[in-house]
Amino acid sequence: MTQDKKRIVIALGGNALQADSKDTTAKKQRETAKETAQPIVDLIEEGHEVILAHGNGPQVGQIIATYETAVEHDDSNQLMPFPECGAMSQGYIGYHLQQAVREEMVQRGVAKEIATVVTQVVVDENDPGFQNPTKPVGSFYSQEDAKKMEQELGFVMKEDAGRGYRRVVASPEPVDVVEAPVVSTLVDQGHVVITVGGGGIPVVDRGNGVLEGKPAVIDKDFASEKVAEILDADLLIILTAVEKVAINFGKPDQKELEQISVKEAYRYIEEGHFAPGSMLPKVKAALKFVESAPGRRTLITSLDKAKEGIAGKTGTTIG
């Protein structure tokens, strides 16, 4: 690959799949995916090797809620295990992205193929996240029903902001990506790959080739970072709703950042500038990739500014 062409892992933010939080239909997601495909194909057209990752929070929530409703109306039905729900979301989100990116490439005469790899991500069963599950999933329940689910199904249920009780699962850190060799082979052959959808399906390695799915949610930015490490990417792009990372966000002295050194990033984290569950995990994932090997950089920006960000014209670069 020439010096100006890069191997890039792109972590798509939620707005890249569902721009309207009130309209979560498959039809609307397909429409949004078509808009998302355009800046992605801009990068592919320039000759960059592109690997896509994405979240799945609303989508997997819909799948879980559908099965919960089915059981509520007919107790002869069975709840679908959480890992299988994650796999379903990887498939149908990947399908929408594949169609949109492929159509855009065909229209521009870009001779590449695109495929989704349903991806398993190894986690450590002793990860502290399993001791204190915090990630809410699925429907809201009364306290009585929540206690019943804890007793009968072994779920951990917690009250959610006065709206009722919800199941919570762990959010462990990724250790390895099972299908990374497959993804690497496809990328080496010039194909565009969608992988670690929703952070990947969390599994623990039981040995002798046996992998066991776990009810957990891996942060998609950390899973994207792990893929970028393994594939020896030049650049990790974490896409979000804002063009640049800011300190003193929402305050009169808010300042947008263009270039952050590793030392500065850690200082800003210590000073509490980045909100947990929002910008903080993105900055932490960015740092992890930058520190994994010399010469690696992370760009945090919005989807429509990705091309300009790579050119150094906007966005926040760490490293």
Q: Which residue in the list 55, 56, 57, 135 is annotated as catalytic?
A: 135
Q: Is 158 a catalytic residue?
A: no
Q: Which residue in the list 214, 220, 244, 288 is annotated as catalytic?
A: 220
Q: Which residue in the list 14, 86, 198, 309 is annotated as catalytic?
A: 14
DSSP single-letter state for residue 252:
T
Q: Which residue in the list 6, 214, 282, 288 is annotated as catalytic?
A: 282
How far is residue 248 from each of residues 121, 262, 298, measured CA to CA in Å?
Answer: 35, 18, 21
Q: Which residue in the list 15, 112, 164, 284 is annotated as catalytic?
A: 15
User: Beta partners for 204?
Assistant: 212
Q: Is 15 a catalytic residue?
A: yes
Tokens 């495929």, located at residue? 115
Q: Is 28 a catalytic residue?
A: no
Q: Mind giving me the DSSP string for 16-48?
A: GT-S-TT---HHHHHHHHHHHHHHHHHHHHTT-
CB atoms within 10 A of CB 80: 17
Q: Which one, of 300, 310, 269, lies nearest residue 44 by Cα?
A: 310
Q: Is 56 a catalytic residue?
A: no
Q: Is 135 a catalytic residue?
A: yes
Phi, psi of 294 (to 5 degrees): -60, 145
Using a 10 angstrom Cβ sphere, with 0-12 exposed, 13-18 middle and 19 or more buried, the burial of residue 270 is: exposed
On whether the CB atoms of residues 299 and 316 are closer than 8 A, the answer is yes
Q: Token pair for residue 49?
A: 């090797």
Catalytic residues: 14-15, 135, 220, 282
